[in-house]
Structure 1
Amino acid sequence: MEYRNANAAHMAIEFAHSPLVTFAVGLALVVLLLVVWDLPAFIGLTVAAFSVGLVNAVFVPDFAFSQAATETATAFGNGMAGIGIPILMAAIIGKSMLESGAAQRVVRSFQSLLGRENSDVALWGSSTVLAIPVFFDSVFYLLAPLARSMRARIGDNYALYIVVVGAGAATTHVFVPPTPGPLAVASEIGADLGTTMLVGAAVAVPSATMGGLVYGRWINNRIDIPLRDTMGTTTEELEERAERDSSALPGVLESVAPIVIAVALVGASTALGPLQQALPALSGALTTIEPAVAFFGDKNVALTVAAIAAALIYLRWTDLARSEWESELTEALKSGGNIAAITAMGGAFGALLAASGIGSYLANGLEGIGIGLLVTAWLIAAIVRIAQGSATAAMLTAAGIMAPLTGQLNVHTAYLVMAIGAGGNICSWYPDSGFWLVKEIGGLTQAETLQTWTVVTTIISVTGLVSVLVLSTLFPL
């Protein structure tokens, strides 16, 4: 009996000093502040991040009490550096495309090409392809206004449209290089890039189909998400544009110009490196233009150029005076600023959880589990992702642990990249800045975001793992 009591006491002390305490405190606070007390998201996430920092100061060596404040502020600033300008410019693009009727023109073009009943397929395919050269967040910024316009035009199916846009972009984001996540993992474990891209596409298609089209249609029959005012545009304005005669809308080329500009600029920057390798004869010329391509291909600049184009189209297709036009754009920026703040603080909350060491703690605990390497890699990435929020951080953590073990694989290392990507995509929720981005830009409640986005990312993760196991068995390469 004394041995049992001593053992239980030892386990209790070990738990009390583990990062699991930080994780438990963070989770409890987020639920209390945001779900039970229903505080504004930014305030709740800020309090939760500060509190997690204080817990770190107690249990994490070399983490001072003062760092609870400074690390939160630094992580928030880093988050704003990454998404501040893109979200503000996305607010301009969204407002301008919706108000000018450009989004409606694109929606009607989709419907005339594929039929009204296949509107979800059009959005799904667009987001899947666009996310290969463009970051997930940028794709969601660009296509969310189309999803909202499609809902205004058809009158329902908003859950479906949000799901297919998110699923297509999220799937490519973790499976298909040159997206940074799988590209970095492939480099870490030494996987051939060409094979990784082919295997990534093979895994991405069933994963995006199950997460987007199959689940999207299923959940759409069970919940009805209304349009809400967001990104500086009211529901009434959207519905008015949906009823506007086609002759009063911009042409197709003019309407898609902001999206094409953003994708072309970012895509050119992404493609420059591979192009230099594929065409050595043109390497000198490509090197000459590289600085300009890198500047305009930066997502901050690319979305700014696209926002200017969208705003000018908006001015051209409305009868607003310049002062009124300026006021409307300012309202969009106010809305975008709130979204950027919430998204960046969500990332800061995840960063403070990560500072507790929860990622390496969980990963080291799973390292010795006696299961297959592909499943082990998926499990490590999945648990780290759930604990601290960032898909990319979870993927890189798992890659660092699995890289020395690649010699034990009896299949191509590209499958290991895919297993890690699938695990890193699972269960986007409160610690993930992407959760808040989808919620705020989509105009969703927390419950609706959990029912759509969180479940979709989990389905993509599980389907991705199953696809990897099947493909690696049939085609070990």
Structure 2
Amino acid sequence: MNFCLAALENAASIPGWYSMTILAIGIAIVIGLIVKARFNAFVALIVAAMVVSLLAPGELSSKVSRVAEALGVNAGKIAIVIGMAAIIGECMMLSGAAHRIVQACLGIFGERRAPLALASSGFVLGIPVFFDTVFYLLVPLARSLFRSTHKRYLLYLLAIAAGGAVTHTLVPPTPGPLAMAGNLGINLGAMMLGGILVGIPTAAAGLAFSVWLDRRMPLEMRALPGEEVLEHDAEVAPPVTPQALPGLFVSLLPILLPVLLISSNTILDHFAKASAKSALVAASPSVQGEAAQKAFLDSYLADSATPLASWNRYSAVWGNPSLALMLSAFLAAIVYVRQRRPTAKDLERTVETSLMSAGLIILITASGGAFGAMLKEAQIGSAIQSIFNGGDTSGAPLGGMLVMCLAFLLAALLKVAQGSSTVAMITGSSMVAAMIGTTDIGFSKVYLATAIAGGSLIGSWMNDSGFWIFAKMGGLTETEALKSWTPMLIVLGVTAFLTSLLCAALHIPLPG
């Protein structure tokens, strides 16, 4: 054992088969500890990172410490953002801002288009609020709509799930997309824009499937356990009136503010770099075709927006995700205080509750990044160069497409094995990042991330908490959930993957 560790300590490189063996051991530990031993995902990922680090080459004295260092680096990237996002979601729920957004969607689309209103509400609320909370919020509306229409109950449930699941897996600052952006080195503003770009047709496909399935599988609404008590309490409690809710603009502001701040920084940064790109094209006659055209457009935008580009150093401050989410959390808290007049103790409890849930997510996300960093130390990238046409994918789009297919299948495998979309995205993107290294895949890495997100939706069944939330809150049996929730998420996942492939093939540009 000591001889093997000493040999690895002095090895500059290791055989490809050994790297692949380390990868297989790492995957087996993660899946085995989560699925079989029922360990928390943080424990499983950090144990896997430790084992991979010990088996990988490097100084023996640093093999444990580098895992802790990687954990710290990854936590530093996402801790503030996830913590602030949790506060935003909690304050929006308690202030009535989330309820106001739902009311606005129903008012725009009307009762006849209630499924579209529910899907739109889920899509918007799924950006700052976790999926289970979105579903808890909107299910009572679905049940209320069925009481008035006496039809389309399954459609209402699936519409909520389609909208909420899409943004939960595609658009930051929810933990999965946020972790993928960090692991793959993607600008957060570009991840937001790309997630929305892929998410809109994905949610539309999910809604269309929901309409089709509801006609072939009509379900009646059933009483939930304890519903009699809840209905009695609802009669006693004062009804929620429009006067008790914040205005629509104020309700949307905690969502819109970080999107605008981060996206503006991404665009201005793109303009600031455009002149340098155009200078390189002018100096290199070998750069032709599409690359030259794109650089010319970048140059034109930069020259015509020089005053905007000069703001880049300021936008780097206001567009920093940590500051943008902090401002948004402060705004959401102000709305909560203004609407509900909580005591100082209540406000403290609200913040503490949201941060306690965020703490575990931060640990899981950071440990996934540490696992990916240790896979890089195990030289996984060089071991899988054959997948990328010998490691050269510039000018060979097929290599990039193979990467995307592999990433999608890997995320789907992880999802089926352990149930959590967030863990599948964190672990899958860590592995893919270790595989590709600095290789140019031929298109924006945002589409690689959205393909991973699509894979993380495939194969949701009884090991997925979302499955049980949908079934129990909706009053469905396990069989009914398997026939509705599971195939609907497959439609979402496949659509997100195909949309990502199409955007990558068309080279649809994204800033950053």
Question: TM-score normalised by the shorter chain: which range applies?
Answer: 0.5 to 0.7
Letter of the aligned partner of 2:439 in structure 1? Answer: G
Deviation digits for residues 189-238 of structure 1 (CA, Å, limit 9, x no counterpart): xxxxxxxxx9x8999478625764456778998999xx9xxxxxxx99xx
Show the counterpart of 2:496. Answer: 460
- Tell me, in whole angstroms, the C-alpha distance in 1 between the residues paired with 2:196 and 2:377: 35
Deviation digits for residues 303-346 of structure 1 (CA, Å, limit 9, x no counterpart): 00000010111111114212321222122212211221122222
Equivalent in 153, 173, 178 of residue 141 of structure 2: 153
Show the counterpart of 2:166. Answer: 167
Letter of the aligned partner of 1:378 in structure 2? Answer: M
1:400 aligns with 2:439: yes
1:117-266 aligned within 5 A = 117-123=115-121, 126=124, 140-141=127-128, 144=131, 146=134, 148-155=136-143, 160-167=159-166, 204=198, 208-209=202-203, 212-214=206-208, 244-266=240-262
- Tell me, in whole angstroms, the C-alpha distance in 1 between the residues paired with 2:37 and 2:199: 40
- Tell me, in whole angstroms, the C-alpha distance in 2 between the residues paired with 1:52 and 1:452: 36
Q: How many angstroms does 1:248 deviate by? A: 1.5
Show the counterpart of 2:264. Answer: 268
Deviation digits for residues 380-419 of structure 1 (CA, Å, limit 9, x no counterpart): 344367386228954993882556xxxxxxxxxx6x9898
What TM-score do you get using the length of structure 2 for normalisation?
Answer: 0.61
Give ranges in structure 2 of 5+ residues lacking alignment: 1-13, 144-152, 173-179, 187-192, 225-229, 273-298, 412-426, 459-463, 472-480, 508-512
Deviation digits for residues 83-135 of structure 1 (CA, Å, limit 9, x no counterpart): 100111011101100011111001111111123221354247659xxxxxxxx
- Are the equivalent residues in 2 in contact too, given 1:207–1:461 (CA < 8 A)? no
- Tell me, in whole angstroms, the C-alpha distance in 2 between the residues paired with 1:439 and 1:94: 19
- Are the equivalent residues in 1 in contact too, given 2:372–2:430 (CA < 8 A)? no
- Are the equivalent residues in 2 in contact too, given 1:377–1:398 (CA < 8 A)? no
- Tell me, in whole angstroms, the C-alpha distance in 2 between the residues paired with 1:341 and 1:48: 14
Letter of the aligned partner of 1:380 in structure 2? Answer: V
Give ranges in structure 1 of 5+ residues lacking alignment: 1-13, 128-138, 174-178, 186-197, 228-234, 404-413, 431-437, 473-477
- Tell me, in whole angstroms, the C-alpha distance in 2 between the residues paired with 1:418 and 1:384: 12
Letter of the aligned partner of 1:85 in structure 2? Answer: I
Q: How many angstroms does 1:170 deviate by? A: 5.7
Q: How many angstroms does 1:80 deviate by? A: 1.1
- Tell me, in whole angstroms, the C-alpha distance in 2 between the residues paired with 1:65 and 1:444: 48
Show the counterpart of 1:427. Answer: 455
Show the counterpart of 1:230. Answer: none
Q: Does the C-alpha gap of structure 1 residues 34 and 290 become closer, same or farther in structure 2, counting only changes over 3 Å? A: same
- Tell me, in whole angstroms, the C-alpha distance in 2 between the residues paired with 1:396 and 1:242: 57
- Tell me, in whole angstroms, the C-alpha distance in 1 between the residues paired with 2:437 and 2:140: 42
- Tell me, in whole angstroms, the C-alpha distance in 2 between the residues paired with 1:452 and 1:75: 37
- Tell me, in whole angstroms, the C-alpha distance in 1 between the residues paired with 2:431 and 2:302: 30
Equivalent in 400, 405, 409 of residue 377 of structure 1: 400
- Tell me, in whole angstroms, the C-alpha distance in 1 between the residues paired with 2:87 and 2:486: 27
1:426-445 aligned within 5 A = 427-428=455-456
Q: Does the C-alpha gap of structure 1 residues 166 and 394 become closer, same or farther in structure 2, counting only changes over 3 Å? A: farther
Q: How many angstroms does 1:292 deviate by? A: 2.8
Show the counterpart of 1:46. Answer: 46
- Are the equivalent residues in 2 in contact too, given 1:426–1:457 (CA < 8 A)? yes
- Are the equivalent residues in 2 in contact too, given 1:91–1:332 (CA < 8 A)? yes
1:389 aligns with 2:419: no
1:19-30 aligned within 5 A = 19-30=19-30
Letter of the aligned partner of 1:82 in structure 2? Answer: K
Deviation digits for residues 237-295 of structure 1 (CA, Å, limit 9, x no counterpart): xx9999623321111122112112212211221222356663646524752x4333211
- Tell me, in whole angstroms, the C-alpha distance in 2 between the residues paired with 1:282 and 1:374: 32
1:337 aligns with 2:359: yes
Q: Does the C-alpha gap of structure 1 residues 16 and 216 become closer, same or farther in structure 2, counting only changes over 3 Å? A: farther
Letter of the aligned partner of 2:254 in structure 1? Answer: P
Q: Does the C-alpha gap of structure 1 residues 331 and 247 become closer, same or farther in structure 2, counting only changes over 3 Å? A: same
Show the counterpart of 2:288. Answer: none
What TM-score do you get using the length of structure 1 for normalisation?
Answer: 0.64
Letter of the aligned partner of 2:306 in structure 1? Answer: S
Q: How many angstroms does 1:32 deviate by? A: 2.1
Show the counterpart of 2:86. Answer: 91
- Tell me, in whole angstroms, the C-alpha distance in 2 between the residues paired with 1:357 and 1:211: 39
- Tell me, in whole angstroms, the C-alpha distance in 2 between the residues paired with 1:216 and 1:395: 37
How well do the aligned residues superpose, as a CA RMSD in angstroms? 5.0
- Tell me, in whole angstroms, the C-alpha distance in 2 between the residues paired with 1:20 and 1:38: 26
The share of aligned pairs that are identical, in percent, is 25
Show the counterpart of 2:106. Answer: 111
Q: How many angstroms does 1:439 deviate by? A: 7.4
Letter of the aligned partner of 1:141 in structure 2? Answer: P
1:296-375 aligned within 5 A = 296-365=318-387, 367=389, 373-375=396-398
Letter of the aligned partner of 1:50 in structure 2? Answer: M
Q: Does the C-alpha gap of structure 1 residues 427 and 243 become closer, same or farther in structure 2, counting only changes over 3 Å? A: farther
SS at match of 2:240: coil
